[in-house]
Amino acid sequence: MKQASIPLEEYMGSGHLACQGCGATQAMRFALKALGPQTALVIPACCWAVIDGSFPHSCVQQPIYHTAFETAAVVASGLKAGLEMRGDSETTVMAWAGDGGTFDIGLQALSGAAERNEDIIYVCYDNEAYMNTGIQRSSSTPYGAWTTTTPVTNYKRRPKKNMIDIMAAHEIPYIATASTAYPHDIIRKMAKAKEIRGTKYIQIFAPCPTGWKLAPELSVKMARLGVTSKVYPMLEITENGQKLEVWKDFEPSSVREYMKPQGRFRHLTDEELDGIEREVEANWQRLLAKEKMLGSIPGLA
Amino acid sequence: MVEKVEFKTYREMPIRPMTVTDMLWNRTGSWRNVRPYYDFKTSPCKAGCPTGENIQRYIYLVTENDYEQAWKTIIDSNPMPAVTGRVCFHPCMSNCTRGEFDEPVNINAIERSLGDKGIENPGWMKRSKPSKKEKVAVVGSGPAGLSCAFYLARQGYPVTLFEMEKALGGILRWGIPEYRLPNDILDKVVGAIVDSGPITVKTGVKVGSDIGLAEIDKEYDAVFLGLGLTRSREIGVDNEDCDGVHPGLEFLKKVNSGEKVDPGKKVAVIGGGNTAMDVARSALRCGSDVTVFYRRTIAEMPAIREEIEEAEKEGVKFYFLSTPKEIVAKKGKLSSVIFQKMELGEPDDSGRRRPVPVEGDTFEMGFDSLFPAIGEQADIDGFSGHLETEWNLISSKGEYGETSNDKIFAGGDIVTGAASVVEAIAAGRKSAERIGRFLSKEEEPVDTPDTVVGIDDMNTAYFSKVDQNRVPRIPASEIRGTFREIKTGYTAQLLHSEADRCFSCGVCNYCDNCWMFCPDTAIKRNKDDYEIDLDYCKGCLVCVEECPRSALSTREEGR
């Protein structure tokens, strides 16, 4: 047998409580493989607060601090400070929150931690709604999506919040998006984040078959098509928000191919899909323009 | 690791709210209603190969640097990869899934590289001892006969191999020019086969005249006839026996045996098959100016496409829709040929459009030599009465070469009419297996249908487009006056680069996708395979969907 293409060590075991085909679970498995055993996790209310298992059991070998919804970033900051006080500067502290706990409820704590440039990795596994509590809309839910609080007749008519730009405005050393379809990329980005001092924000695109009304086996495929259809661009922002790199080296696919298998978009008419396609392309062009603009400012790399 | 934790009262609970054990008590396998399982299927290349070479397997072994096992994998179904790697019409490549993605994997060139490595390492060939007492006669030492003798000897049967010529090889030796298959390569391949087991060679013996078939039938416990087609077909016009007109196969035989031949300045070749191409390109190498005349168009030519293209590149001229009407001889020597122009009419039995003469449209051209190469016939006059024949070919009842005589089997061109080297090899092997079962009175195996995968079964998101690695060759400008092999073969680097292009359709090649993407960590990565832990597999089927090569299947639980 050939050498394994990703680290063999497993820190996330079986028996957890995630749904079939859960993207957030894959994301955790890859992240832990990259960060290794000397890592402490802070998890606020979110799917992962449940997936992990019921007290006193945990499917994850690294210690987890379960905390309140709005406090992931600040608890992680405190945990890191406590470890430093005791002379431990080696342990990586990772806050691991869903999009509700990041885009909405935990935003102030995250903003505070980022502004202070606390030495933590903050990961948002983005499944685009409050999945754990029953699929309610979050500010990460994309335009056009069904949720239980934006039912079909009244689907979400506001765009997804641009969290990356918000984080970039904090001028932190490392920001990246990733997707569960690209494990090697997640592992590379997590390993890179581990080596950087300061606040690292990584947003992992993690499909939720249950909340997206999607066949579980298509979980990875959606994570891939989301990227190749340019709906969810893969990017890295370094040098305190001054350098943007967008991944472009892929075979492009259509937005419709991405949306069609997902029940949460089933009600959209052809006209509405056309509109979404135009918006995706416009966002993509804006992103590329921004990448070019940042790269052409004299004195900046 | 699995530890059940129970607290009877709150006092037993740990003082600090800390995890004490894992979640393995929670057997999530009970959530599942569909189960994934590893289910390796047949790759289309293997399905397309007449002799059923396990192509996926040996290409995988090449990527693992295990040339010896790769070579042995081929030898299990074809004893001469150094030959087929040079002359095969490679239907595997027309079937290759990659052909629908970018370009097929150059299986033929990979096979040749492995065949050559087998020649460099004679120790790889296992020597079999005579373990059975029943004797088998194999008549003809072309691809069918050699293959049959090899697989009989492998089973331990003492084989006597009869060949009417002085050297072994049949059509491989006399019909295929050296620039495609060098004699020294053929000598080594034939030598290795003969040395591999209890094979006794009798050359210069023609069965049917020097020794009767009835005699052989009596002396041996089983007989295999792999005589091939040895008689050239005649055009059927006047003066065909004049000086300067020779059957194409005869010319090839002279050239291949190293005789100095001068076909003259202007040469005409009649026919559109592989023999015609071989004759034309050989004459070109003797320094002649060669024109091929074919009665249909290039689209109907039965020759391997690559051979036609190469002949054109080397400078062979083609006249289509022309057939010789009259040979003009002066003093018993060829002077010119009058050709009849043809046009295509209704399709015939073969599905190709029948050529019909265009009344009054003829032309005349002068030649020093004319080589008809319009097909060969069997020479089985000596067998009449002993075996059923049809259209001057031996009739076979089954797929293993059974004939009207229980003890006699036949395979290759003598049964099928003009076909290919690889089909003859396959026929020889199948007959050898059948003869083994016949002699040991074994039951016929039950055929299990293969599930062949195609491009639609693949998850092509994991493949990127890469051009086929071309085989290095000597330039067309350097071919005159030499029979040096045209293709020089892959370098080690090209071999690996090409092997890496294989999709490994239907068979796991340890890409790790299933193991990597399992959200439940329920796939174990063992030393040689993967294993699904059904105690925890929730049946999400991400592994099945993300397998690039359809090596997993699903089954509903409880069925």
Q: Domain A23-295's class?
A: alpha beta
**Residue B339, both tokens:** 């050709």
Alpha carbons within 13 angstroms on the beta-carbon side of residue A64 total 30
In a domain, B256, yes or no: yes
Q: Which of B12, B19, B463 is the best residue to mutate to test the A interface, defined by the most A CB atoms within 10 Å of its own CB? A: B19
Q: What is the pLDDT of residue A56?
A: 85
Nearest residue in B to A184, CA atom: B516
pLDDT-based confidence at B209, cuts 50/70/90?
confident
Q: Report pLDDT digits (tens) over B135-179.
A: 999 999 999 999 999 999 999 999 999 999 889 999 999 889 988
Query: Stretch B180-193: mean pLDDT, rounded?
Result: 93
Contact A219 B520 (CB under 8 A): no
Contact flag A5-B516 (C-beta cutoff 8 Å): yes
Flag whether B31 is in a domain: yes
- Is the minimum CB–CB distance between B524 and chain A shorter than 8 Å? no
Same domain, B326 and B294: yes
Report whether pLDDT(A25) > 60: yes
Question: Does B479 have pLDDT greater than 90?
Answer: no
Chain A closest-CA separation from residue B557 CA (Å): 16
Query: pLDDT for A169-192, tens place per residue?
Result: 999 999 999 999 999 999 999 999
* Residue B447 covered by a domain: no
Query: Which of B323, B345, B374 corresponds to the end of one domain?
Result: B374
Residue A300, pLDDT > 60, answer no
At residue B213, the pLDDT reads 86
Looking at residue B261, which CATH number applies to its domain? 3.50.50.60
Distance CA A278, CA A286 (A): 12
Same domain as B243, residue B156 = no
DSSP code of residue B402: B
> Of B391, B418, B439, which residue constitutes the final position of a domain?
B439
At A1, the pLDDT band (50, 70, 90 cuts) reads low
For B13-34, how does the pLDDT look when each residue is reduced to its tens digit (9 = 90+)? 777 767 778 999 999 999 999 9
Distance CA B551, CA B547 (A): 7
Question: Quick one: pLDDT band at residue A296, thresholds 50, 70, 90?
Answer: confident
Residue predicted with more confidence, B513 or B233: B513
What sign does the dihedral B78-B82-B88-B90 (CA atoms) show?
positive
* Mean pLDDT over each residue of chain B, to the nearest integer: 90
- Checking if the pLDDT of B446 tops 80, the result is yes
SS3 assignment, position B98: helix
What is the pLDDT, as a whole number, of residue B377? 85
Burial B273-299 (b: 16+ CB within 10 A, else e): bbbbbbbbbbbbbbebebbbbbbbbee
Q: How high is the pLDDT of residue B9?
A: 86
Region B334-343: mean pLDDT is 90
On the CB side of B66, how many CA atoms lie within 13 Å of its CA? 13
Q: B25 — contact with chain A (CB < 8 Å)?
A: yes
Mean pLDDT along residues A247-275: 96
DSSP code of residue B212: -
Residues B352 and B381 in one domain: no
Q: How far is the alpha carbon of A156 from chain B, nearest alpha carbon, in Å?
A: 28
The 3-state secondary structure of chain A, one letter per residue: CCCCCCCCCCCECCCCCCCCCCHHHHHHHHHHHHHCCCEEEEECCCHHHHHCCCCCECCECCCEEECCHHHHHHHHHHHHHHHHHCCCCCCEEEEEEECHHHHHCCHHHHHHHHHHCCCCEEEEEECCCECCCCCECCCCCCCCCCECCECHHHCCCCCCCCHHHHHHCCCCCEEEEEECCCHHHHHHHHHHHHHCCCCEEEEEECCCCCCCCCCHHHHHHHHHHHHHCCCCCCEEEECCCCEEEECCCCCCCCHHHHHCCCHHHCCCCHHHHHHHHHHHHHHHHHHHHHHHHHHCCCCCC
Confidence grade of residue A93 (pLDDT, cut at 50, 70, 90): very high
pLDDT beyond 90 at B443: no
Structure token digits, residue A70: 């709005």
B216 DSSP assignment: H
The Cα of A2 is separated from the nearest Cα of chain B by a number of Å equal to 7
Do the Cβ atoms of B536 and A219 come within 8 Å? no
Same domain, residue pair B256 and B366: yes
The rounded mean pLDDT for chain A is 95
Chain A nearest C-alpha distance from B510 (Å): 7
> And the tokens for B74?
């081929």
Asked if pLDDT for residue B335 goes beyond 90, the answer is no
User: Which of A1, A3, A14, A210 has the most B C-beta neighbours within 10 Å, making it the best mutation to test the interface with B?
Assistant: A14
Give the SS3 label for residue B439.
helix
Inside any domain, residue B220 = yes
Residue B173 lies in a domain: yes
Residue with tokens 């057939």, as numbered in its chain: B323
Task: Give B67-121 pLDDT, tens digit per residue.
Answer: 999 999 999 999 999 999 999 999 999 999 999 999 999 999 999 999 999 999 9
Q: Read off the pLDDT of each residue in B260-285 and give the average, rounded to a whole number.
A: 90
Q: Quick one: pLDDT at residue A40?
A: 96
Residue B84 lies inside a defined structural domain of this protein: no
| CA–CA gap between residue B89 and residue B485 (Å, rounded) | 17
Residue B191: in which H helix or E strand, if any?
helix B183-195
Which of B387, B405, B439 is the last residue in one of the domains?
Answer: B439
d(CA B102, CA B455): 12
Q: Are residues B257 and B343 in the same domain?
A: yes
CB of A220 within 8 A of CB of B545?
Answer: yes
Give the minimum alpha-carbon distance from B56 to chain A in angstroms, rounded to a whole number.
Answer: 16
Domain match, B327 and B268 both: yes
A279: left (phi over 0), alpha (psi -120 to 50) or beta: alpha
From its phi and psi, is residue A21 left (phi > 0), alpha (psi between -120 and 50) or beta? left
pLDDT for B473 equals 87
Interchain contact, A55 vs B19, CB within 8 Å = yes
In a domain, B544, yes or no: yes
What is d(CA A196, CA A173) in angstroms, rounded to the nearest whole number? 7
Radius of gyration of chain A (CA): 19
Average pLDDT over residues B477-488: 83
The reply to whether residue A53 touches residue B541, judged by beta carbons under 8 angstroms, is no
Same domain assignment for residues B199 and B269: no
Amino acid identity, residue B25? Answer: W
Chain A interface includes B544 (CB < 8 A): yes
Contacts of A251 in chain B (CB under 8 A): 464
What is the rounded average pLDDT of the residues B368-384?
A: 86
**Looking at the partner chain, which of B1, B536, B544 has a beta carbon nearest the beta carbon of A217?**
B544
Report the greatest alpha carbon distance in chain A.
60
- In chain B, the number of structural domains is 3
CA neighbor of B140 nearest in space, from B117, B122, B159: B159
Look-up: residue for tokens 């449940």?
A50
ipTM of the complex: 0.95
On chain B, the residues whose CB falls within 8 A of the CB of A29 are 519, 521
Q: Domain of residue B29: give its range.
A: 21-40+508-556
* Residue B36's CATH number: 3.30.70.20
Of B27, B511, B519, nearest to A22 by CB-CB distance is B519
B27: closest chain A residue by CA: A15
| CB of A26 less than 8 A from some CB of B | yes
Structure confidence at residue B314 (pLDDT): 87
Q: Note the pLDDT of residue B65.
A: 93
pLDDT at residue B225 tops 60:
yes
Question: B540: distance to nearest CA of chain A, Å?
Answer: 5
- If phi > 0 it is left, if psi is from -120 to 50 it is alpha, else beta; for residue A240 that is left
Contact A258, A226 (CB under 8 A): yes
Q: Does B534 touch chain A (CB under 8 A)?
A: no
pLDDT confidence bin for A122, thresholds 50/70/90: very high
Task: Say what percent of chain B tops pLDDT 90.
Answer: 57
Average pLDDT over residues B248-277: 89
Three-state secondary structure readout of B500-526: CCCCCCCCCCCCCHHHHHCCCCCEEEC
Length of chain A: 301
In a domain, residue B497? The reply is no
Which residues in A lie closer than 8 A to residue B6 (C-beta atoms)?
Answer: none
Indicate the pLDDT class of residue B239, thresholds 50, 70 and 90.
confident
pLDDT at position A156: 95
Q: Do B522 and A220 touch (CB under 8 A)?
A: no
Give yes or no for residue B237 having a pLDDT over 60: yes
User: Which amino acid type is present at position A148?
Assistant: T
- Positive or negative CA dihedral for A279, A214, A30, A99? positive
What pLDDT was estimated at residue B6?
81
Quick check: A299 pLDDT over 70? no
pLDDT the model gives residue B190: 94
Residue to mutate among A19, A20, A47, with most B CBs inside 10 A, is: A20
* Contact flag A56-B520 (C-beta cutoff 8 Å): no
> How far is B536 from chain A, CA to nearest CA, in Å?
6
The least confident of A119-128, B454-463, B477-486, B507-516 is B477-486
Out of B70-84, B120-134, B338-352, pick the least confident. B338-352
Question: For residues A229 and A31, is the Cβ–Cβ distance under 8 A?
Answer: no
Q: What percentage of chain B reaches a pLDDT higher than 70?
A: 99
pLDDT given for residue B187 in this prediction: 94
Looking at the structure, tell me whether residues B350 and B394 fall in a common domain: no
